[in-house]
Amino acid sequence: MLGGEWSGAGPSGTLSRKCANCAGNLTFDAAIGSMVCHMCGKVYDTEGLKEKGSFALKFREKEYADGEQIDQEDLDKVEYVCDSCGAQIVTETKTTATFCAFCGSPTLISRRLTRQFKPDMIIPFSVSKEKALSLYDEFVSSAKRIPKDFRSAKIRERIRGIYMPVWLVTGDCMTDISASGLRKEGSMRFSYDLSRAVTYSLAAVPFSGSDKLSQRMLEAVEPFDINGAVEFNTSMLQGFYAYKYDNLPERMIGRIEKRFNLYGEQVGKNSFDKSYEIGSDSYLTALTGVSVIYCLVPMWFMCYEYEGLYYQFVINGQTGEVCGRLPEKDSLFGKIVKKAGKFTPAIVSIVAALVSGILVGIALKDLYGAEPELYFFYLTVMLFAVFGISFIFVYRFAYRRYIRKLMEKEDQKSPYELDKRPPAEQYFVYNGKIDMEAHDKFGSAMKVGEDRDNRHYKVL
C-alpha cells in the first residue's frame, strides 16, 4: 500500500508526513534509513513512502473496559496482580498463585482479565521442575561464599515456571561497510579502500516484552529453538504462570535497531578476507523489512532479596541454560575493612594489644607485682611493642593484600558474570537471500623496508 500524505506545514515550517495506517507523524530514522511511525510501529521507505515492514504486533490486544463482557476464549484465564511489585501474571483458572514469583510477596489479588491475552506462539517447557532445582543447586554450589539462605529449602521452593512475553523480530538487513584494508604480499604491502554492501536476513531475534525480565538476562539464556514453538493454546499454561507484556515492540525501536546494528557490524567484519588488516572501519545497517511475532518463552525463574538488593536466577526452560547473580558474603576481615576503611590496621592492632595486654598483665603481676613501677613500665613497653608489630603485620600482610585483591577483582570477570548475547550467526538466515556487492578500490602499494619498521616503507 502506498501511504503517507503531505499534510501541510509542521511547526518548523517543513512539510510533515503522516502514517497511512494511523495518521501519526512519520519521522526519519537515520539508524535504519527509513521513515518510522512511533505511534503504530510501521516502517516506510523514504522516497515513495512504500510500507516496508512494521515493528508492531499483527494483533494488538484489546483492553477490557470495566464491566465489558470478556471474550469467550479469555474466560478460562485469571489474572493475578502483586500488591508489592506490580507484577501481572496470567494463569488458567485451575492454577492458583500463592505468592509473587518476582518479589516473593504473598499479597496477590486475583481478578478477571483486564486485557485480551493472545500470544501468537508458545515454546513449551522441556526442563522439569526437578531438573530446574538440580540446575539451581549446581549453580549455587559453584559459588564460594554465598549466604546460607540461598541453599535453604525456603528459597529453593520459590522457583517458578513462567512463560515470559518475548518479541521475535525478523528483518531484512543491508549493511553498508567501509574500511581500510592492508594486505602483505611478499615484500610488498598494498592498501585498499574497502566498500561493501551485504544483504541478508536475521530471523526471530528475541526482545523482552516485560520489565520483569531484563534484556540482558534474556540474552544471557538465549537462544531458543524457534522450531519448537507452537500456536498458543491456554491448556499449555496449566501448572505454569504467564507474564503479561508491559512493553510493546513499537516502543522499543531504538533497542531493536541497536542490536541489529551490532549484528550488522559482526556480519560486516566477517565479510573481510582474513588476509586483510582492517583499520578505520564503519558499519551501518538498514532494516528493509521488519516483522514481529509475539511468543511466550519458558523460563524457570527465581528472585531473592539479600541486604536490600534483588538477585535473579533464570533458566531457559527449553534448553536448560542457566544465568543469574549471587551475592558474595564478606570474610570477617573484609567486613572490618569495609566498615573501618583505612583505620583497619590500627583498630585491629589496638584490639590485639589490649587482648595481649590483659593476658600478659596477669602473668607479669606474678613476677613484678611487688614492684609497681617496674610492672607498669614493662606492661607499657609490651603494649607498644604488640601494637607496633601487629600494625606492621596487619598492614603489610593482610590489609594491603586484601586491598590488592579487591582491586584485582574489579578488573577480573566475576564468576557470576552473565553470558554474552549469542553472535549474529545464531539468527542468520542461511537459506535466505544473501548478497554482497563489493566496490573495493586499490589505494597504494608500498615496499616493506629491511628493518620491517612501518616508517621505513618506501612509497612506490
Q: Which is nearer to Zn ion, 109 or 459 (CB)?
A: 109
Query: Which residue of 4, 19, 268, 298 would you call a contact of Zn ion, by CB under 5 A?
Result: 19
Q: Which three cell numbers stand for residue 131?
A: 531438573
What is the per-residue DSSP string for 401-419?
HHHHHHHHHHHSPPTTPPP
Q: For Zn ion, what does the binding mask look like between residues 99 and 118, x meaning CB under 5 A?
A: -x-xx-x-------------
Determine whether 356 is exposed, middle or buried from the number of CB atoms within 10 Å of its CB (0-12, 13-18, 19+). middle
Q: Which is nearer to Zn ion, 27 or 187 (CB)?
A: 27
d(CA 428, CA 434): 10
Q: Which is nearer to Zn ion, 191 or 291 (CB)?
A: 291
Asked whether 115 and 307 are in contact (CB, 8 A), the reply is no
**SS3 label, residue 216:** helix
Of 11-19, 164-172, 243-251, 413-421, the window that binds Zn ion (rule: CB under 5 A) is 11-19
Asked whether 158 and 106 are in contact (CB, 8 A), the reply is no
Of 16-24, 207-215, 297-305, 306-314, the window that binds Zn ion (rule: CB under 5 A) is 16-24
Query: Which residue of 57, 82, 205, 248 would you call a contact of Zn ion, by CB under 5 A?
Result: 82
Q: How would you label 34-46 residue by residue, b for 16+ Cβ within 10 Å and e otherwise?
A: bbbbbbbbbbbbe
Nearest-approach distance from CB 100 to Zn ion, in angstroms:
3
d(CA 100, CA 122): 22
Nearest-approach distance from CB 241 to Zn ion, in angstroms:
12
Using CB under 5 A, which residues numbered 25 to 64 contact Zn ion? Answer: 37, 39-40, 42
Place of cell 529449602: 153
d(CA 379, CA 384): 9
Nearest-approach distance from CB 44 to Zn ion, in angstroms:
9
Nearest-approach distance from CB 26 to Zn ion, in angstroms:
8
d(CA 435, CA 251): 31
Neighbours of 101 (CB within 10 A): 24
Of 98-106, 198-206, 324-332, 428-436, the window that binds Zn ion (rule: CB under 5 A) is 98-106
What is the per-residue DSSP string for 222-244?
----GGG-EE--GGGGTTSEEEP
Nearest-approach distance from CB 107 to Zn ion, in angstroms:
8
Of 24-32, 285-293, 345-353, 402-410, the window that binds Zn ion (rule: CB under 5 A) is 24-32
Asked whether 443 and 460 are in contact (CB, 8 A), the reply is no
Residue 104, Ramachandran bin (φ over 0: left; ψ between -120 and 50: alpha; else beta): left
Query: Which residue of 21, 91, 175, 261 would you call a contact of Zn ion, by CB under 5 A?
Result: 21
Residue 85 makes contact with Zn ion by CB under 5 A: yes
Nearest-approach distance from CB 40 to Zn ion, in angstroms:
3
Q: Which is nearer to Zn ion, 42 or 77 (CB)?
A: 42
Q: Which is nearer to Zn ion, 48 or 369 (CB)?
A: 48
HSE, side-chain direction, 13 A CA sphere, residue 26: 30
Nearest-approach distance from CB 217 to Zn ion, in angstroms:
17
Nearest-approach distance from CB 56 to Zn ion, in angstroms:
8
State the pairing for strand pair 241-243/160-185.
Answer: parallel
For residue 223, whether the previous peptide bond is cis, meaning omega lies within 30 degrees of 0, is: yes
Neighbours of 418 (CB within 10 A): 16
Q: Which is nearer to Zn ion, 89 or 135 (CB)?
A: 89
Using CB under 5 A, which residues numbered 245 to 284 contact Zn ion? Answer: none
Q: Which is nearer to Zn ion, 3 or 264 (CB)?
A: 3
Q: Which is nearer to Zn ion, 125 or 241 (CB)?
A: 241
Nearest-approach distance from CB 386 to Zn ion, in angstroms:
54
**SS3 label, residue 322:** strand
Nearest-approach distance from CB 263 to Zn ion, in angstroms:
26
Residues engaged in binding Zn ion (CB under 5 A): 19, 21-22, 24, 37, 39-40, 42, 82, 84-85, 87, 100, 102-103, 105
